[in-house]
Every structure is written in C-alpha cells, then in structure tokens.
Amino acid sequence: MEVKDLKNEKLKSWLQYWIDLCTPDNVHICDGTPEEYDCICNMMVKTGAFIKLDKPQNSYYARSDKTDVARVESRTFICSEKEEDAGPTNHWKDPAEMKAEFKELFKGVMAGRTLYVIPFSMGPVDSPIAKWGIEITDSPYVVVNMIIMTRVSKTIIERIDSEDHEFVPAVHSVGYPLIGDMADIPWPSAPVDKKYITHFPSTSEIISFGSGYGGNALLGKKCFALRIATNLARKEGWLAEHMLILKLTSPEGKVKYVCAAFPSACGKTNLAMVRPTIPGWKVQTIGDDIAWMKFNEKDGKLHAINPENGFFGVAPGTSMKSNPNAMETINAGNTIFTNVALTEDGGVWWEDSDTKPEFLIDWQRRPWTPGCKDSAGVERKAAHPNSRFTTPAKQCPVIAPEWEDPEGVPVDAILFGGRRKTVVPLVTAARNWEHGVFLGATMSSEMTKATLEGQGQLRFDPFAMLPFCGYNMGDYFQHWLNIGKHPGANLPQIFYVNWFRRGEDGHFLWPGYGDNSRVLKWIFEYCDGKAAKKETEIGFMPADGALDLNGINVSAEDQKALLSVDKEGWKKAMPEFEKHFEKFGSHLPAELRAQLDILEKNVGYEK
C-alpha cells in the first residue's frame, strides 16, 4: 500500500501534509511482519545504529547519544486551549504557537531519510477497550521498538482507510536532516533545548521532535497510553493508568486480578512477574506498566487490559534474584537493549546482574573494569542507570492465558505505593473509595533515574501519574471520585504498600522480591472479607500475626515498625500534604480536603 492509494481523505491529507513538510527521500508504510522487523534491524546493523548480539538469540544493542538517555519532563508539554486545563503539574504551551513552531522545525527535517508510517493498536485489535494510532517517524529504532511494544499491522491502516475508524495521529522526528553529502550518525537527535514532546488534547494529537529515546519517541507508550488516553478516559468514563496488572491464584484455585501503581523504576515489573515464596500461590502477568480499565456492565466491575504488547523495562536492578521471570523473558531472545554494557563474549551486562565480569565495553564505548573511576574520581557505571530492554510480552514464562482477552480482566484490588524509607507502613487498606482516592492523590516517592531532573529527591507523585496525566490533575482526582459513583459499580478495594521501609541503621525492614507475595495473600483475603485486620489512624492494617511470615526472618521489632502507625512521623508530614494540595487550588475536590482533615485529626496534627 502507498499513500496515493488511500481513499480516506482525512487520513490521506494528514499523511500528505507531513510528507510535504518533512520532505523525506522515501515513504514506507509498515506492516509489522517478522520479515519487516528483521529487514530494518539488519539495515541498522549495516549503518552502525545496531550491534547484532551473539546472545540472546536474534537480539540487538543500541547506544544513544549521552544527551538523549531518558524522558525529559522539562520539555514535555500539554497544549490545551487554556493553561489552567493543563494544571499545575504539567508544562503548558499555547497550541497555535506550538503548531507554528513545528511548521518551521519540521520543514525539510526528514531530508535524506525514510518516513515510516506505523499503524498500531494499543490493546488487542478488536477489543472494545483498545484504541488505534498511526505514528509517523524517521527513526528505524522507533519502528522496531514499536513493533515489539504495540500491535503493528497493515490491517489497521486498511480499516482506518475503509471504515473511517478513529485513530490518534502521532508525529515524531529525531530532528537531524541529512543535507547534501552529510554523513549519518548512529544516534541522531537534537540539542536538549530543541526537544519537544507535545500533546494536543482537543485533537488527540501527539507531536515529538528531537529525541529518539523511549517514551519521548515511542509515542504509543506514555504519550498515547497515558497523556492522551487520560483525556479520552475522562470524556468516555474509564481509567487510563500507570499500573501493572497481575493474576493472583490461591492454592484452592481461586483467582483475583490486581492493578498496582508505582513510579517508574520502583518495582512494577518485579511485582508483575513475582515468584511467590509461599507454597501453593501463583502469580501470572497481564501487564507491567499500563492498565486501561472500563466498566463491564455484566458484572459492574472495572475490566482491565494491558494496551502494550511488550515490556520496556529498566535493566539495572533486574536480575535472577529480583525478577527471574523478566530475565527469562529477556533471555528468550528477540530483545533490543539500549545503553547497557557489552561483554567480551557478545552479550550484555548491567549493574546488579548475576555475573561479575572483569572487562566490559561500557555504554559510552569505553573499556570498563570493576572499580574504574571517571575524571572526578567517582566509580564509573558500565550501564546507564536508565538503560533499557525491549522484549515481547508473549515470551514471559508467567504470562497469563487471558492477557489478550479483548474483554479485559475484572479488577479486584488496586495498589498504590512508592519508595519511602520512613513513616509509611508495609500495607494499609483504604476505608472506602474516597479514602482510596486520597491515598492515590497523596502518593510520594523518591525520584528515579527514569527522569533527567531531580534524581534522588522526594516528591508527591499522585497515582504515579505526575509526569503522565494529560490534563489538570485536580480534575483527574475528581474523575477518580466520579468513577466511584458509577451506577451499579462493583468497585475494587484500594491499598497502599511500601516495600522500602528502613530501620534506623539503614537496613530494609522487609525482604521484598518474592516475599511481597505474602502481602498479596493478605490483600486477597481482605478482598474476600477473611483477613484479620485492625483499624488505625490511617486505615486498616494486618492484625498481629495476620501476615504469613513462615519461612522468613523478620524480627519482632521490624514487624512492629512495618505494621504500626508512626503518629509523630505523620504529624511532621502534614505541612507537606497541605502544601501539595494547595497547588490544585479550586480544582481540588472537596472530598479530598475532607479526607486530609480526617487524617490530621486522627494523628493529632494541629495547624
């Protein structure tokens, strides 16, 4: 199929506008077949953009430019008609002014390159919860990653053309035209001050310029699946969330489905694929990063799909100890690695891996040995802290059989959580839906390596959506409250978890990893009304002895710290809660202000 063969005037004119503006040498409409994937990967090996690995099988390695290694939140914009609609947690640009700037930036920007047209589905193609998109890009790296991460198919563009099916239009360029006899480079990108990742809620458009990395360029991921989807979900009465989805099966064969929201690099993938350490319990994976949830009128429950087709995971911290199922998925092959280190035997390595190599080539092409230091005398990492793997979800050894069920899976529990060393207990159950929304709205975590700015600081990250909500977050809180009022709703239970609590000497109070299944077991029992619990100032918590701790060594002192309320710690935190809510002004729902008043009274905080 070629653009000239299209009959849908809306689709054809949109594509032709960008072709005429960007002036590529070639236009290629992708079909997502294995043959196309292999062809583009082989081309990238020949141009030096990819290295073909000896292991895992059929896997490739890319290094980015050192200025293009993560999401750039300071260059990510919501281009709503009014700045107020973007809200205090987003950067805003006037849509008309942004479009005018793009008209100049994109003029001739694909000279010397191929413009790829990627028709893709977020979710199973015919799912009533799924949405379709078309991404235009001049990056072959984006094409092959999108083939893994979404469902790319020529059928989608044919159906858009013939049925006038709705789609999200997405445009991307690395911003590096090849003019005259100019040579290409392995990772083309634009300077940081020319990078733009923009979203236009009124037209559901995405336009990204200058970055070839991750969520900046794979526009089906954070841009579509969250920032644009949250706007669609608000209009249509569903939820688009930064959440894993797992299937939890008891020894008796009873099943519950759990969604969980954690900030990037705080353990979503690990929990989604956790191997329980308690006999007879089983966890299977539906998704590790995004959940789209719509009410199913048959049972009144929110039904969730994973709109993605692969895993785009942070490599450092992933190992046979932390996540053996992720390692088996990666090692099954067909994986793209970005900014990890290369081993002498044709494989890859990153910090926290299971081996201890004596020599590597690091992510910046430099020889690396254990303990080597940079020019400032700081020990040098072999892999970038935000280095990534892109791998097909279907290869996961614990992928649930229903992970592609078009109707989605019924959600029984929603977990919120972050990386907190103090104050926040191991697990707390919300008293009701409003209290659960309050727990989500007041999530806080230490910032991760998945962003360029502010690493290591503590920030409020409501619903793990701080960088991803596509409109005013105060209105997003209200949308969550409205979901709780859906007629006939059979709502999931809401919980708050914290795997990262530490003692005064710095040791972790909770072993984590597979032992997190012990908390999942209590949550399962709580949803059935069978969990032993106690009411506290902040919600319901496991009663003494309610957690299954057989076979692990958690001291009585640590148990007490994990499962008690530090009232003094909460009191000290209340001014930060107040400051957090003040940001939303008149957009803060009254119900959440009331929940904060209840918490302050319960812990004895006086203003």
Query: Using omega within 30 degrees of 0 as the cis cutoff, is the peptide bond preceding 401 cis?
Result: no
With a CB cutoff of 8 Å and minimum separation 6, the contacts of 71 are 197, 213, 214, 215, 216, 222, 450, 451, 452, 467
Candidates 259, 266, 396, 469; catalytic one = 266
Distance, CA of 489 to CA of 300 (rounded, Å): 5
Distance CA 137, CA 106 (A): 11
C-alpha–C-alpha distance, residues 173 and 125, integer Å:
26
In whole angstroms, give the CA distance from residue 198 to residue 208: 6
Closest CA to 344 of 315, 316, 328, 367: 367
Residue 27 corresponds to which amino acid? V
How many helices and strands in the chain, by DSSP H and E? 16, 32
CA triplet 275, 278, 283: central angle to 5 degrees?
35
Distance CA 188, CA 210 (A): 8
Q: Which residue from 584, 467, 445, 453 is spatially nearest to 227, judged by alpha carbons?
A: 467
* CA-closest candidate to residue 496, choices 571, 581, 595: 595
HEC string for 348-390: EECCCCCCCCCCEECCCCCEECCCCECCCCCECCCCCCCCEEE
How far is Cα of residue 124 from the mean position of the Cα atoms in its chain? 18
Structure tokens at 403: 């992970």
And the tokens for 337? 């690695």
Backbone CA torsion sign across 183, 36, 105, 224 = negative
Q: Indicate if 396 belongs to the active site.
A: no
Pairing status of strand 114-122 against strand 151-152: antiparallel
The rounded distance, in Å, linking the Cα atoms of 266 and 56 is 26
Distance CA 97, CA 118 (A): 27
Catalytic residues: 266
